[in-house]
Amino acid sequence: GEMKHKLYEPMRRHTTMLVGGPAQFWLEPTTFVQFQKLTNYLRERSIPLRVIGRGSNLLVRDGGIRGAVIHPKGGEFSEVTVDGNLISAGSGVRFKKITSVAEANGLGDMEWMEGVPGNVGGGLRMNAGAMGWETFDHVVSVTFLDEDGEIRTRTRDEIKTFYRNVPEIRRNFALQATFRGSPADTSSIHQRIAESKQKRRESQPIAASAGCIFKNPAEIPAGKLVDELGMKEASQGNAQVSAAHGNFIINRGKATASDVLELISRIQDKAKTQRNIDLETEVQI
């Protein structure tokens, strides 16, 4: 069938921060082969392409995105299957969904994923984490569309990962992943999910944001640093450092990407001049 597509689609509709200008071509493939044909077509014609999932860790500039944006959604990208202790999920599946499937199947250690706002594809790319866990702690294998246009599955040990970074998912796109859980009793899983939700409610904002803005530097958690620098509630236009957590910037309504970028650089400047710490962004810009 025909692939859903749009021209000049505003990216503020597709990012949790609710900012960002238009993407020139917005495309929604539903099968891995459709995704493959599409990327090969674009690459052969040197049309710039980006893949965007839930847009939860993303800051798109006000000028928008030139070229094509592929949004894996529905069909194979939204499938989840369970086989013993293994859960396989397409790149368009939400992390929250993995937690609920794990709970329903008596698989533990994946409770933290409930707090990750993004989809599997983005979480793999950045090796998302919370509560002392990271995505690749659970990965058994990932199926990629490789740079040469072929679809291949690689096992965990064949993939190099770092804190909030998986360099090879800049060139290859993750289509699906298989995660391993460990059997646990449902009531303790349920309890840990409730605790995780509670902790998040107490320590993170509910307003529109892109999750944590900065990676935690070696010296001190970024949120604590911003707090100590006295920058909580600092604002630029309608972007504001959250009062709940210093590593979140919230959109108070009509913030622009340039408001957010300006606030980010003010924080980075202050961290550098007052504490000599280089704050690196975690959000993709």
User: What is the contact surface with ligand EPU in residues (CB under 6 A)?
Assistant: 115, 130-131, 203, 211-212, 215-216, 221-224, 227, 245-247, 282
Smaller CB separation from ligand EPU, 38 or 116: 116
Report, in Å, the least distance between residue 103 CB and ligand EPU. Answer: 18
CB 107 within 8 A of CB 85: yes
Smaller CB separation from ligand EPU, 141 or 216: 216
Tokens of 276: 């000599």
Helix, strand, or coil (residue 272): helix
Report, in Å, the least distance between residue 130 CB and ligand EPU. Answer: 4
204, amino acid identity: Q
Smaller CB separation from ligand EPU, 14 or 245: 245
Smaller CB separation from ligand EPU, 90 or 122: 122
Smaller CB separation from ligand EPU, 38 or 189: 189
Smaller CB separation from ligand EPU, 93 or 212: 212
Smaller CB separation from ligand EPU, 68 or 283: 283
181, amino acid identity: G
For residues 189-222, one letter each, b for 16 or more C-beta atoms within 10 angstroms of the residue's C-beta and e for the rest, the string is: beebbeebeeebeeebbebbbbbbbbbbeeeeeb
CB 127 within 8 A of CB 164: yes
Report, in Å, the least distance between residue 70 CB and ligand EPU. Answer: 23
d(CA 23, CA 64): 6
Smaller CB separation from ligand EPU, 22 or 115: 115
Report, in Å, the least distance between residue 99 CB and ligand EPU. Answer: 14
146, amino acid identity: D
Q: Which among 268, 222, 172, 236 has a CA at the least distance from the CA of 19? A: 236
d(CA 126, CA 144): 15
Q: Where are the alpha helices (DSSP H) in 12-56?
A: 32-44
What one-character-per-residue DSSP string does 88-106 give? EEETTSBHHHHHHHHHHTT
The DSSP bridge pattern shows strands 139-145 and 65-70 to be unpaired
Tokens of 203: 């320590």
The values of phi and psi at residue 125, to 5°, are: -60, -40
Report, in Å, the least distance between residue 112 CB and ligand EPU. Answer: 7
Distance of CA 53 to the CA centre of its chain: 8
Report, in Å, the least distance between residue 205 CB and ligand EPU. Answer: 10
- Which residue's Cβ has the minimum distance to ligand EPU? 211
Report, in Å, the least distance between residue 236 CB and ligand EPU. Answer: 18
Residue with tokens 């939860």: 56
Report, in Å, the least distance between residue 262 CB and ligand EPU. Answer: 20
